[in-house]
Amino acid sequence: MGELASTKSYAEQGFMLYDRVRHGQLGSVYGGHEPGVCSRIHAAKAVWLLGYPDQALQTIEAALTMATELSHPYNLWLALMAAIWIHHHRGDSRAAQNHVEKLLALATEQQHRRWIKVANFLQGWLIIEHGEWERGIAQMRQGESELLIEARQQTYYATLVAQACLKGGQTEQAYSALTKDLKRVRDTGVRYYEAELHRIKGEVLLRRSASSQKEAEACFHMAIDLSHDQGAKSLELRAIMSLSGLWQKQGKKAEARQMLQEICNWFTEGFDTADLKEAKELLQTDGAKPSHT
């Protein structure tokens, strides 16, 4: 899996054909998944991965509006989870926090034990983003087991755990989480986020040992190749930023700059997102490693 262009195409066809009067009750047929909401959720994620973060934001906002109007708790839950995913990847922690709070309120109102644990896990991640590592990681650990049973989202959640461990200097725990999830990806074939696993593994290796540069570089190249093959320009940008930072430290400044400039030139939107801002900063400083991990 990981066929992003096809996902985008089919999802967009779905919500263009959707008619609320004719199709609004199909959610009860498809396990609670209301087709108008879910098609927009899948389109939004695919569009972000393909390199269109502003379009992804517009699409997920449409999904949230529809889910709110339907007043169906499960579909609102799905839309809020997807909105958190989009805002996280755009680097907007304030918007992500707002949706996590709504998620927790919904879970509490519905007295849904598992949803509450998931919301608390995501709150823990945001606590770490705001600088309180010990409190945040403890809260994430409480809900971690609940999230890792979701096959489609396991890789994303595993990267949050790995990045949280890395922020706290727990490189072995971060490495272990990534190694386990890479095996899970191979076993399940759920590959849409595999490139990001390899990229973060490379970052972990660099923190783990000064002698791991060659192995880390191989991880970055793997991430670039995978994301390029999938057309996942947003993940390709991240992987190139990581490799560019390493190459600059190694004195390969011209190669690093050319590679990063080429991928930045591809983008036509999203210039206010964290990744593209950091890429621009890296190009301007010509040697500074961005903080993004």
Q: Which pLDDT tens digit goes with each residue over 86-117?
A: 999 999 999 999 999 999 999 999 999 888 98
**Structure tokens that stand for 221 in this block:** 């190249």
65 in a structural domain: yes
In a domain, 224, yes or no: no
In a domain, 58, yes or no: yes
Does residue 186 belong to any structural domain of this protein? no
Among 204, 183, 155, smallest CA distance to 2 is for 155
Which residue is associated with the tokens 């169906």?
A: 72
pLDDT at 2 over 90: no
* Model pLDDT, residue 289: 47
Would you say residue 150 has pLDDT above 60?
Answer: no
Distance (Å, whole) CA 28 – CA 256: 52
Q: Is residue 82 part of a domain?
A: yes
The answer to whether residue 291 scores a pLDDT higher than 50 is no
How does DSSP classify residue 286? T
Q: Is residue 118 part of a domain?
A: no
Which structural domain range is residue 42 located in?
1-89
Residue 78 lies in a domain: yes
Q: What is the DSSP string of 249-261?
A: HTT-HHHHHHHHH
Decide if 276 is inside a domain.
Answer: no
Q: Name the one residue in this structure whose structure tokens are 């989202």.
A: 153
pTM over 0.85: yes
The CA–CA distances, whole Å, from 268 to 43, 51, 83, 86 equal: 18, 9, 22, 18
User: What span, in angstroms and rounded, lies between the C-alpha atoms of 137 and 187?
Assistant: 28
Compute the distance between CA of residue 69 and CA of residue 24 in angstroms, rounded to an integer: 12
Q: Tokens 């007043």 sit at which residue?
A: 71
Supply the mean pLDDT for the chain: 89
Q: Does 8 or 228 have the greater pLDDT score? A: 228
Count of Cβ atoms closer than 10 Å to residue 32 Cβ: 14
pLDDT of 8 higher than 80? yes
User: How many domains are contained in the chain?
Assistant: 1
Mean pLDDT of 118-126: 93
Q: Write down the pLDDT at residue 142.
A: 81
**Alpha-carbon distances of 233 from 138, 139, 293, rounded to whole Å:** 33, 32, 17
CB contact at 8 A, 203 and 293 = yes
Q: Which residues contact 161 (CB under 8 A, 6 or more apart)?
A: 140, 144, 174, 177
Which amino acid would we find at residue 262? E
d(CA 184, CA 170): 22
Task: Judge whether residue 227 has pLDDT over 50.
Answer: yes
